[in-house]
Amino acid sequence: MRALNRRDVVLGVGATAGLAAFGPGRGLAAAAAGGADPAAVLRAIRLTGPAEAAFLARTGPGTAPSAVVAAGAAARPVVDVEGVTVERADAAGRVFARGLAFACDPRVVNRFAVAGRPLAARLFCFSADRIDWTPGRGLPVYAAYCPRFEYAPAAHYPEAKWHQLVPLIGDRYFTGCTATDACAADAPGAVAFDVNDGDYADNAGGYTVTVWSWS
């Protein structure tokens, strides 16, 4: 598995407050955009042609691979997570962004899906919010995308910070530490998120990732 660095996002959406009790599939109903069809939203936020070129000009493509996970690293369980439609409106009630939100479980790799089909992309723009998970009983409850500054020998993703959220495109993972960002790879792959830990069995809580555009 290869690690890629991420470029900064020029235009993004800020995080919202965390939830006191959170789990996969919970807490998104209030943000859902009037029952809009997620598959239609997925098509609408796809970047093609001039829109994709403009996106890349503003954010830049992903950098060259910077690390390789040691051979024989244990495989992580993968669970498909269905997206729900969300939208953001300004103070006057005008919608300025629509996206797909995915409620993630910190025990597994969360592969994003819409209508039962994994989201495969070469690049995507996201924001992570409602971060509210713990790596084990008696340990801190994290509310930040990248809550620690150190690296750990036991980490599943050795080039990422300990206990940070980790975006993936196929077998490539990204090491940046900002909760609103863009990921770009040299080839399409399944979009997914994980946490960087060494023992996942007693992880609890959850976090939400919203995809605002993809190609």
List pLDDT tens digits, range 153-196: 999 999 999 999 999 999 889 988 999 999 888 889 999 999 99
Distance of CA 80 to the CA centre of its chain: 13
Query: What are the structural domain ranges in the chain?
Result: 2-14+21-69+77-214
Q: What pTM did the predictor assign?
A: 0.81
> What is the C-alpha to C-alpha distance for residues 175 and 131, in angstroms, rounded to an integer?
18
Q: Which two tokens stand for residue 199?
A: 């023992």
Does the domain spanning 2-14+21-69+77-214 belong to CATH 2.60.120.430? yes
Mean pLDDT value across the chain: 82
User: Are β-strands 165-169 and 180-195 bridged in parallel, bridged antiparallel, or unpaired?
Assistant: antiparallel
Mean pLDDT (whole number) for 186-214: 96
List pLDDT tens digits, range 106-155: 999 999 999 999 999 999 999 999 999 999 999 999 999 999 999 999 99
| Residue 201 scores a pLDDT above 90 | yes
Using DSSP's 3-state secondary structure scheme, residue 51 falls into helix
